[in-house]
Amino acid sequence: MKDVRKVVIPVAGWGTRSLPATKNIPKEMLPIYNKPVIQYVVEEAIRAGIKDVIFVTNRDKAVIEDHFDYNLQLEGVLERAGKEDKLKIVRDVAEMVNIMSVRQKKQLGLGHAILCAKELVHGDPFAIMVGDDLMFGGIPGIGQLIEVAMSENMPVVGVMEVPWDKVSKYGIIDGEEVAPGVYRVRDMVEKPNREDAPSRLAIVGRYVLTPDIFEYLEKVKPGKGGEIQLTDALQMLAKDRGMMAVRMSGMRFDAGDWAEFLTANVYFALQDEELRYELLGLLKNFVQFQ
């Protein structure tokens, strides 16, 4: 397989789980400590050697692209004020990655969002990172998948074990473990009932795919919830071509879940040496009165 240099990040969803915060702000721009959610996702891609980012957007999401572009007016203000450190922070974000974007004009599902990126992917192997899923610790999440995709020359999905009462929120795989944490995928099903789930290995928003997925996305029929499901196209690809799954190591936060979003905020704030001490003091006081 050729090197994976592109990532498709679908960002056209409504973010209804995070209302009212997301009424006028894309969910991807909500801050976790001092950066928007989307910046963590892009930084994970960079650490895995990816420089080209394709956002699948809608009309209300331009601010996401702007975040990764220069803001000359702000830079001028910071320069004149002699705030060199702040100037560096805003410039670094603009220089992180190459940005491309395509509109998903109708919200027809995750599979449809990925299909919208077909022309920009241009026949190369590519990664997909779902913007709600934040991965931390150890080897960058998407990097773990790229390693297996390159060595096996096969598409790969990232999975994690979830409790049985959560399987209906995810795509679930049925696989044979061929090496520790590496599975050959036999089948997969989108958001099954607990009784129908073949395992509790859930797909967690990280994929490395070959461009033949687009042929399947073009012919797949609407599935769960009447949407064009990526999982349904992957299921066909797995049967025809073969597919691997990697049990991902590290921590995962679902940014669309308030408890996990807030935990992620505390986790990142605690990494900041200057803030850590003060924050722990405040939290201790606060917890006492609960």
Q: How far is the CB of 90 from ligand G1P (least distance, A)?
A: 30
Out of 30, 110, 208, 264, the only residue in the binding site for ligand G1P (CB under 6 A) is: 110
Nearest-angstrom CA–CA distance, 162 and 254: 13
Tokens of 111: 């599979």
Q: Is-contact 155 146, C-beta < 8 A?
A: no
Of 196-215, which residues contact ligand G1P (CB under 6 A)?
202-205
Q: How far is the CB of 133 from ligand G1P (least distance, A)?
A: 5
Q: How far is the CB of 20 from ligand G1P (least distance, A)?
A: 20
Q: Is-contact 15 6, C-beta < 8 A?
A: no
Q: How far is the CB of 171 from ligand G1P (least distance, A)?
A: 3
Is 148 a binding residue for ligand G1P by CB under 6 A? The answer is: no
Give me the DSSP letters along 85-148: HHHHHHHHHHTS-EEEEEE--S---HHHHHHTTHHHHTTS-EEEE-TTEEEESSS-HHHHHHHH
For ligand G1P, the closer of residues 78 and 116 by Cβ is 116
Is 175 a binding residue for ligand G1P by CB under 6 A? The answer is: no
Out of 28, 133, 232, 260, the only residue in the binding site for ligand G1P (CB under 6 A) is: 133
Among candidate residues 174, 228, 226, 180, the one with its CA nearest the CA of residue 196:
174
Q: How far is the CB of 42 from ligand G1P (least distance, A)?
A: 17
For ligand G1P, the closer of residues 86 and 198 by Cβ is 198
Sign of the torsion angle spanned by Cα atoms 140, 146, 151, 152 = positive
Is 149 a binding residue for ligand G1P by CB under 6 A? The answer is: no
Nearest-angstrom CA–CA distance, 209 and 123: 11
Out of 36, 131, 155, 171, the only residue in the binding site for ligand G1P (CB under 6 A) is: 171
Is 117 a binding residue for ligand G1P by CB under 6 A? The answer is: no
State whether residue 183 is helix, strand or coil.
strand
Tokens of 116: 């919208």
Q: Which residue is nearest to ligand G1P (CB)?
A: 171
Is 134 a binding residue for ligand G1P by CB under 6 A? The answer is: no
Q: What share of the chain is helix, strand, coil (3-state, %, to 5)?
A: 45, 25, 30
Is 190 a binding residue for ligand G1P by CB under 6 A? The answer is: yes
**Interface contacts to ligand G1P, rule CB under 6 A:** 110, 130, 133, 170-171, 190, 202-205, 229-231
